[in-house]
Structure 1
Amino acid sequence: MVDTLLHQNSVQDALDNDREKELRVFDDTKVGVKLLVDNGIVKIPQKFVIPTKLSSQTLSSGSAHLQIPEIDLKGIHEGGLRRKQITIEEIRHASETWGFFEIVNHGISEDVMEDMIKGIRRFHEQPIEVKREYYTQDMNKKVRSVSTFDNQAKAVSWKETLFCTMAPEASNPEELPAACRYPSS
């Protein structure tokens, strides 16, 4: 019995080490998943696949009526109870339950929002050599691009993310990728 457990643990350790090595190799390329897609990948690498047991649990535990949580910032500048309700209760609940949420009444114009989306799209459509400059797992960098940021998860994130830290101190505009700095005409 003990031998069987030791063997299972050593096999699991080897798999974990292989997974860590595979993730490190993938991350060291600094190219992300877009390169895989651009190169015509036909099979999703195992590190991005949610195990069947976990996948079926996630799907069956959900509700048939799904709605993205909406956080309404109306009245947040008035402070008091509404500010506490938004910042602590609603955002925490949405984050813990969904991992994301939609914010409304934030005061940012649609034009600015559209320009941000266009800038992000321009960033991700750039040649790999340009994007590599921003690819890092260094959490101290105010501007960074990553593909995998939860390497402990059962399945690694299958997405590209550009982080631009704006609080408590905003990034210097010159630190931002050129594709994201100014709206295109």
Structure 2
Amino acid sequence: MAAAVRSLRVESLASSGLLTIPAEYVRPEWERLSIVDVLKEAELEAEGKAREEAGPQIPVVDFKGLESGEESERKRVEEEVRKAAAEWGVMQVMNHGVEGEVIERLKKAGEAFFALPMEEKEQYANDQAAGKIDGYGSKLANNASGQLEWEDYFFHLLYPEDKRNMAVWPKNPENYV
């Protein structure tokens, strides 16, 4: 079973020597042209430069209004989150209150986990067919355009707390938790 799962990992495909991306992962040209690099976009915006690319933007939701204590601001933020979740399923959140140092530690722990050998990561593999969604996996469901997603991930159930399973949280790297 583990060998079958391992062969489906995007990392395995990427390191297999393939010269082209398998067709089931290739997005239509219109979609490739419309996706922008959100981080680059934020850099340009911070520098006061205009966006040159055309196409849809991943929604950016500013949580700063939540600090005002005003009901109208809270409702506005809630509506922006609701709209982004319904229309995109993803959003960039600004002014969320998570310290930059914490974000950097999270990034480093994630990078360290994904740098581990495949066999070690597979110890934390999820099994969606059995209803076990938390853990290490590859997104094998088709997206709205019909393609598979080119990604491996580690999914954590945090809430409700009775669904949190610390047994699937990696022991390596030590700073993961």
What TM-score, normalized by structure 2, do the two folds share? 0.68
Aligned to 1:94: 84
Segments ≥4 residues shifted beyond 6 Å? none
Aligned to 2:157: 165
Describe how 1:7-156 pairs up with structure 2 within 5 A: 28-29=5-6, 32-50=9-27, 55-56=29-30, 59=33, 64=54, 67-76=57-66, 78=69, 80-87=71-78, 89-138=79-128, 140-141=131-132, 143-151=134-142, 153=144, 154-156=146-148
Q: Does 1:177 align with 2:170?
A: yes
Gaps of 5+ in 2: 37-52
| Superposed displacement of residue 159, structure 1 | 0.9
- Separation of aligned partners in 1, 2:33 and 2:18: 26
Could you report, residue by residue, the CA deviation over 1:96-128 in whole angstroms, capped at 9, with x for unpaired residues? 444421111211111110111111111111111
Aligned to 1:10: none
- Which of the pair has the greater relative contact order for Cα pairs under 8 Å at 6+ separation? 1
Decide which structure has the larger Cα Rg and report it.
Answer: 1
Gaps of 5+ in 1: 1-25
Q: Percent identity?
A: 29
What TM-score, normalized by structure 1, do the two folds share? 0.65
Q: Check 1:182–1:173 CA distance in 2 against 1; reply closer, same or farther (3 A cut).
A: farther
> Does the Cα contact within 8 Å between 2:61 and 2:93 map onto a contact in 1?
yes
> How many residues are matched?
155
| Superposed displacement of residue 178, structure 1 | 2.1
Q: Check 1:56–1:71 CA distance in 2 against 1; reply closer, same or farther (3 A cut).
A: closer
- Separation of aligned partners in 1, 2:127 and 2:13: 19
